Structure 1
Amino acid sequence: MKSLVFALSFLLLAGCASGPRIDTSHPSVNFDNRAQFIVVHYTSASLERSLALLTHGQVSSHYLIGDDKAGTIFKLVDENYRAWHAGESEWQGRTWLNSSSIGIEIVNPGFRDTPTGRVWYPYSEAQIQNLIVLLKDISKRNNISPRHIIGHSDIAPLRKLDPGPLFPWKRLADAGLGQWPNAQAVARQQAVYAQALPSATWFQQELARLGYTTPQTGEFDVATRHVLTAFQMHFRPGRFDGIADAESAAILQVLNQTK
């Protein structure tokens, strides 16, 4: 009798352990990928130091592109997981972009300050070629819009400068990876704004429309100038002083008109 009770108890426990039946015959069509953005960075460190920081430090990234001759791509975090590369960030109203982005770090010192001014370090041809291939692959698999390929300075303009003014955003845009304004349209609109520059309110609203987190104070305050600097560094890297001018206004309007 005891053996029968034991056997029945075992079967009941086994049944509980297997859990409830899960029906998968009604999949929803209402979903999208976790990754909505791709954020590009430079590391400000050597390859060895970058690997150490991104694998055993407090930050991480999905990919790292080395500065060796081949521009080796290191996969550090699976794209299905969240990496810690964006920090406090915002783009198009979305905050803390670690949860919704794929991070790509590129080994590059960034800049050095000299008595004659700040000197920025260029990226190698191998790094850019491999980045383009990687971006095409990631964006295709995750259905990420070219408009959502952005820089760290775009999503955190008050505290970040990377990937810097020597990063070739136009080259990426020519490859279908990002935005770039039409030069003829910019020239036409610049002539208009040269006669009357838009107000601080207009700049703040248009920067926010493009995606930047911008104070809506109606003044060219310190925060707004930081955002304007990040915008210029991306779309007019020849001059990024944070000062509103006709060319910046024209670029901003053309970009928003072609979204």
Structure 2
Amino acid sequence: MKKNFYMIIMLLLFIGCSSTREKIYEIDDKKYIAKGKNERIQFIIIHYTAGANEVSVKELMSERASSHYLILSGEDEKIYNLVPDNERAWHAGISSFRGRSNLNDTSIGIEIVNEGIPPKYRDYPTYNLYDHYIEYEKMQIEKVGQLVRNLSVKYKIPARNILAHSDIAPSRKKDPGAKFPWKLLHDKYGVGAWYDEEDKELYMNYEEYSKRTIIEIKKELKDYGYEINETNEWDKASKDVIYAFQLHFNPKNSSGEMDLETYAILKALNKKYLHKK
């Protein structure tokens, strides 16, 4: 009898709970639209894999590293999308540019299969020279050009935010190296930053350059976007930044030493892009 009584009580409680339905509240995403926002994707970072196809695929499919896109070597005509654009890939590591850090959060990574630097040059005692790097294949560059053009239009990425891995991590990385053709991408596909030759010539003035202090030149690098210290010397960390800049914009003169031509290119870039977002 007591058991039946408890069963009746439980049944009544269940009926009472089920009759009280949770109210569903509508979400309105049209009436109020905030202006304080931006896209997750603000940068495109170019890498080389430093290995062949099989090794590169294995590494990028592991739990250690990844990229959004992979471009193989050889006759394969596809571009492989490994991570959806709206998800975070692990390609940038400790990184910074234009005041932002940890660029995995705000970038798309593109890996190109290329050995980078042959083993015989990897222990070179100073900064690797232009001839130490390996050429890219024509079809690889065509793929990169088309892909970066499409992504930069889709996500409204400014030219100054299309970068080398070495730009965002100059003391750790050298990729995509001195033989990645940034000027070709700029001229043929309209993507990435490049200086105007007439502006460079305007600043090829040794007398003017010789008056610039180290601090002033470092400020020019910082204004463009590079993370650099404010010491009044060209220490190793500062030379790493110079080398990264040269790999991108003055690759045949990639020495890690500031000189008139590198300075003129830097000034020309700031003249062209400094006031652009």
Displacement of 1:110: 0.5
Displacement of 1:231: 0.4
The one of 132, 145, 156 aligned to 2:145: 132
- Number of residues paired by the alignment? 256
Show the 5 A alignment for 1:91-240.
Answer: 91-114=97-120, 119-174=132-187, 175-193=189-207, 196=210, 198-240=212-254
Q: Find the counterpart in structure 2 of residue 33 from structure 1.
A: 39
Asked if structure 2 preserves the Cα contact closer than 8 Å seen for 1:197 and 1:246, the reply is: no
Corresponding position: 1:48 with 2:61: no
Asked if structure 1 preserves the Cα contact closer than 8 Å seen for 2:209 and 2:263, the reply is: no
Q: Find the counterpart in structure 2 of residue 244 from structure 1.
A: 258
The one of 63, 72, 83 aligned to 2:78: 72
CA distance in structure 2 between the partners assigned to 1:72 and 1:193 by the alignment: 51
Displacement of 1:8: 3.0
Identity value in percent: 37
Asked if structure 2 preserves the Cα contact closer than 8 Å seen for 1:37 and 1:100, the reply is: yes
Q: Find the counterpart in structure 1 of residue 17 from structure 2.
A: 9
CA distance in structure 1 between the partners assigned to 2:258 and 2:29 by the alignment: 55
SS in 2 for 1:102: strand
Structure 1: 5+ residue runs without aligned partners? none
Letter in 1 for 2:33: S
Q: Deviations over 1:215-258 (max 9, x none)?
A: 11121111111100100111000011111111111111110011
CA distance in structure 2 between the partners assigned to 1:228 and 1:48 by the alignment: 33
Q: CA, structure 1 residues 55+114, in 2 after alignment: closer, same or farther (shift >3 Å)?
A: closer
Q: TM-score, normalised by structure 2?
A: 0.86
Larger Rg: 1 or 2? 2
Letter in 2 for 1:67: S
Q: Deviations over 1:66-99 (max 9, x none)?
A: 1021343110000101111000000001000000
Q: Find the counterpart in structure 2 of residue 88 from structure 1.
A: 94
CA distance in structure 1 between the partners assigned to 2:197 and 2:207 by the alignment: 15
CA distance in structure 2 between the partners assigned to 1:193 and 1:176 by the alignment: 34
Structure 2: 5+ residue runs without aligned partners? 1-7
CA distance in structure 2 between the partners assigned to 1:195 and 1:32 by the alignment: 38
> Is the strand fraction higher in 1 or 2?
1
Q: TM-score, normalised by structure 1?
A: 0.92
Asked if structure 2 preserves the Cα contact closer than 8 Å seen for 1:198 and 1:249, the reply is: no
